[in-house]
Structure 1
Amino acid sequence: MIQMNLHQVAAIVGGSLVGKEARIQGVEIDSRADCQGKLFVALKGARVDGHAFCQQAANQGAAAVLVSSAVEVDVPQIICEDSLQALQALASAWVKQTGVKVIGITGSNGKTTVKNMLYSVLSQNNQCMATQGNLNNEIGVPLTLLSISRSDDFAVIEMGAAQLGDIEFLTEMAQPQMAVITNVSQAHVGRFGSQDNVAKGKGEIYQALSAQALAVINQDSPYAVQWKQGLQSPFITFGESVESDYRLFENKEGYAIKTQTGDVFSVKLPVLGHHNYLNACAVTAMAMSLGVKAEEVTQGLMQFTPESGRLNLMKLSDHLQVIDDSYNANPASVNAAIDVLKNQAKPTTLIVGDMAELGHESVQMHANVGNYAISNGVDEIWAVGEFAAAVCQGHEAQCKVFDQVETLVAHLQNKKFEHGTILVKGSRSMKMERVVNAIVGGDKQ
């Protein structure tokens, strides 16, 4: 984590130091957390202003506070124009000081999985840190960068976007030596206006790379040609296309990857889904370009820890299993989950909640989910939320509609699943883990 004297911090952020010199070790924005020896940064939010909690942070051991206006507090304070911009500037400066190799990851789907896979691979023989949880925005990324230690070899940074310009800003802050876009789909299309705009927004990560960096590009993406144009940096590709530098393919043993040098090795993962093997292909391209050996890649991929709620398979009995994919949902990730479900033990049941942020295309995209599920042999659908009826349109005999999760959970009290496979998925706002808990109860193995 960052270690720096206050006068150095003040110089970086263009602020004024009031009080005695001190040395900070780490940064915190939550006054309720352990602030011992750290710099507390007072941020103004929509509902809470951190400036009101500076003394609380001091009581929690903060060595100093960074504020946009002077406050009454028992520890030194650095007063600047904008504490959020100061946090971001400090993060960017700290990254340069550490000399760590930063890898930036963005995309519509698979960001967190790729991050976790790459972290596992790089950690085999290196000191590596990675984004924790969902700290992938204009606040989370600088906090992650400030947690880098000088002893770290690599930092794997996940980047999210709410609008055009966000990824460019985060990339310029983090200054990655390597970057990848996992894929582009209709996730967040309601915010961006179109999938093309999503691709443009994600593509900012490549455009902001320096000439010394490396772009890792999904050759299978319809936007691959667009992303390659105007690059300052060199690039390599991954995917199932024969033109890919790192190519995923299936053989008698399962999945294998052919590398840029023509070597081939098998890949096994502790997680379901063809799409996750594509994620592994991206990780292989990145890791081997960083000098990691093939055996370290395969070992790291086998050992990586999937996030909770992302295609986690739970066997409730010899005849019944639940796939918890409740963490989030968008059209592409729901289709990928259905591709997993169709190959599982029957009868198969898809319990799906609303997909958020799809804008004017919401009804059609939810209808597409129902069509895709039935056309791929899913036996039954339970749809919940505002767009549940759209999911079930034309498939009423095989589909149940619930207006809210609480109603669905209540219905589960009278429903006994005895065999087959149940997959649960929905956007984060739907909190579909409540459905998983209702099904699993105390019988989770």
Structure 2
Amino acid sequence: MIALSLNELTQALDAQLVGDSLIIQSISTDTREQMSQALFIALVGERFDAHNYAQQAIEQGATALLVERELALDVPQLLVKDTRLALGQLASYVREKLALSCCAITGSNGKTTVKEMTTAILSQGFEVLATKGNFNNDIGVPLSLLRATEMHQLGVLELGANHIGEIAYTVSLVKPKVALINNVSAAHIEGFGSQNGVLKAKSELFGELGAEQLALCEYQSSYQEYLDEVARPAKIGHFSLDNVNADYYASAIESLGLSGSRFVLHTPNGEALIQINLAGEHNVKNAVAAAALSLNMGAKLEQVSQGLAQLDKVPGRVNVQSLNNSVQLIDDSYNANPASFNAAINILANFEGKRFLIAGAMGEMGQQTKQVHNDLVKRALDSDISLYSYGASFDEVLTEIGRSSLGFDSHEVLCEQLITALEAQHSPCLVLVKGSRSTHMEKVVKQLQQYYKKGLEC
């Protein structure tokens, strides 16, 4: 973060300063972390009020507070009406002060992978500020922007949402030069009510774009016409897996199995031979999307090739690793919805050997919960994939087809039975672990890694 004075922030945030001005070097909202010369922002939520922990923040090194009410503490305080909105104002102020040119990405699937690919490409020629981890909501996006310093030339921001209006808010802070909606599918249905609700929420990324900005979306998707209309008067571009009528697309796609894919990228800037190290055809489309973003942010075609070739693993997202000479693990545990599970099954279906899908239940699916889990079970079993499921949403489906033994309510028991099955195999095995965040399927990944690394029982 750049250094800022409290006097400067008083004007930027329309705040009242209690105490003397001083220079802050960082921002924090978490009293669990050490903070040096930091402004602690006391956020207020439905179930918490960080004003109650301001003393702890001071003990951790905070030298000033951003609060909604004056506290009886001997440090300077900036008083505002709403600390959450003030956090956003502060982030927007820093972005404008640095004149940071940004691109923004959202979508139901693959947005983090596209963000990592875009960052890898742009980093070939620029200093890039990129979203870390899951800092993509109305708190995370401002905190991501506040990490910017004078050395950063470009920003790559991922925007997520679980309710209407969230992306409209965060995109107003980012003000992207280029905005990309990777796809729209059934995700967070419970929060949005329907897939049309999801589409409306994602389209907020395009809703405030001006004539000098660029909107990118998937060509000939069921939602392209709607998004094109929402994006106007912005410039509009389209990407596709392999449709030659799109502005950006792939041809001569060659699967390299779990090692990734090779293809020819077609763009208005020319063509390039691309190799990616992430498995699955869906990652070819993600790479095309990242190339479209990057080229419009100033990258050259050779930097697209170099960046994508250098990107190796994205934690929790189709992360391939060998557990031993016969067992390979794909850690795709970060999150899940029906479309991303279908992509995972496609990877397994193309593997020559014994296939295992370790599936955590999909959350926030609302009235579609039973149907999407039924579809997943049927597709996995029809594809001759050994299924091990975790979570109550699978129970009713499995009971109805007489396969309740495929469901588990314990990560440990699931892992024990899986390892027993793996140890009994004499052919190559591929294990893919996937599930919504609420199912904590990363625990299965860690237990498998521990077992094969140390030879211990799971």
Bin for the TM-score computed over the shorter chain = over 0.9
In structure 2, the partner of 1:385 is 391
Output the amino acid matched with 1:385: G
Quote the offset at 1:155 in angstroms: 0.8
Secondary structure of the residue aligned to 1:314 is: strand
Contact 1:217 1:238 in 2 (8 A): yes
- Among residues 255, 269, 273, which one is paired with 2:263 in the alignment? 255
In structure 1, the partner of 2:259 is none
Q: 1:398 to 1:281 in 2, by over 3 A?
A: farther
Q: Which moved more, 1:393-402 or 1:114-123?
A: 393-402
Structure 2: distance between partners of 1:292 and 1:365: 40
Structure 2: distance between partners of 1:164 and 1:294: 36
Unmatched segments (≥5 aa) in structure 2: 256-261
Runs (4+) of structure 1 exceeding 6 A deviation are none
- Among residues 429, 432, 436, which one is paired with 1:420 in the alignment? 429
Quote the offset at 1:55 in angstroms: 2.7
Q: 1:25 to 1:440 in 2, by over 3 A?
A: closer
Secondary structure of the residue aligned to 2:384 is: coil
Structure 1: distance between partners of 2:422 and 2:323: 12
Question: Across the two proteins, how many residue pairs are aligned to each other?
Answer: 443
Quote the offset at 1:252 in angstroms: 5.7
**Is 2:119 aligned against 1:133?**
no
Q: CA RMSD in A?
A: 2.1
Structure 2: distance between partners of 1:332 and 1:393: 24
Contact 1:383 1:391 in 2 (8 A): no
Unmatched segments (≥5 aa) in structure 1: none
Quote the offset at 1:407 in angstroms: 3.5
Contact 1:370 1:393 in 2 (8 A): no
Structure 2: distance between partners of 1:226 and 1:242: 21
Structure 2: distance between partners of 1:33 and 1:302: 36
Secondary structure of the residue aligned to 1:63 is: strand
Secondary structure of the residue aligned to 2:43 is: coil
Quote the offset at 1:107 in angstroms: 0.5
Q: C-alpha deviations, 1:40-97, integer Å up to 9, x for none?
A: 1111234432212223322332231110000122321111111111111111122111
Secondary structure of the residue aligned to 1:387 is: helix
Q: C-alpha deviations, 1:119-165, integer Å up to 9, x for none?
A: 11111111101111111111111111111113211111111111111
Structure 2: distance between partners of 1:120 and 1:137: 22
In structure 2, the partner of 1:236 is 237
- Among residues 429, 439, 443, which one is paired with 2:448 in the alignment? 439
Quote the offset at 1:394 in angstroms: 7.4
Contact 1:367 1:390 in 2 (8 A): no
Scaled by the length of structure 1, what TM-score is found? Answer: 0.94
In structure 2, the partner of 1:275 is 282
**Is 2:380 aligned against 1:349?**
no
- Among residues 278, 289, 295, which one is paired with 2:296 in the alignment? 289
In structure 2, the partner of 1:429 is 438
Contact 1:383 1:392 in 2 (8 A): no
In the TM superposition, what are the counterparts of 1:109-120 in structure 2 within 5 Å? 109-120=109-120
In the TM superposition, what are the counterparts of 1:5-24 in structure 2 within 5 Å? 5-24=5-24
Structure 1: distance between partners of 2:422 and 2:105: 42
Quote the offset at 1:369 in angstroms: 0.6
In the TM superposition, what are the counterparts of 1:19-418 in structure 2 within 5 Å? 19-230=19-230, 231-239=232-240, 240-251=242-253, 254-261=262-269, 263-375=270-382, 377-389=383-395, 392=398, 396=402, 400-412=406-418, 414-417=420-423, 418=425
Quote the offset at 1:326 in angstroms: 1.4
Structure 2: distance between partners of 1:220 and 1:368: 25
Q: C-alpha deviations, 1:397-434, integer Å up to 9, x for none?
A: 79722234344234346544334212111111111122
Quote the offset at 1:444 in angstroms: 4.6
Secondary structure of the residue aligned to 2:245 is: coil
Q: 1:345 to 1:214 in 2, by over 3 A?
A: same
Scaled by the length of structure 2, what TM-score is found? Answer: 0.91
Contact 2:159 2:170 in 1 (8 A): yes
Contact 1:381 1:398 in 2 (8 A): no
Q: Which moved more, 1:122-131 or 1:57-66?
A: 57-66
Q: C-alpha deviations, 1:293-345, integer Å up to 9, x for none?
A: 11111111112253322111122232221212111111000000001111123
Structure 2: distance between partners of 1:399 and 1:336: 25
Q: 1:233 to 1:80 in 2, by over 3 A?
A: same
Secondary structure of the residue aligned to 1:70 is: coil
Contact 1:184 1:221 in 2 (8 A): no
Secondary structure of the residue aligned to 2:375 is: helix
Q: 1:251 to 1:82 in 2, by over 3 A?
A: closer
Contact 1:348 1:420 in 2 (8 A): yes
Q: C-alpha deviations, 1:213-242, integer Å up to 9, x for none?
A: 111111142111111114121011111222
Structure 2: distance between partners of 1:23 and 1:397: 63
Q: 1:364 to 1:5 in 2, by over 3 A?
A: same
Structure 1: distance between partners of 2:30 and 2:55: 12
Secondary structure of the residue aligned to 2:95 is: helix
Contact 1:351 1:383 in 2 (8 A): yes
Output the amino acid matched with 2:295: M
Contact 1:388 1:402 in 2 (8 A): no
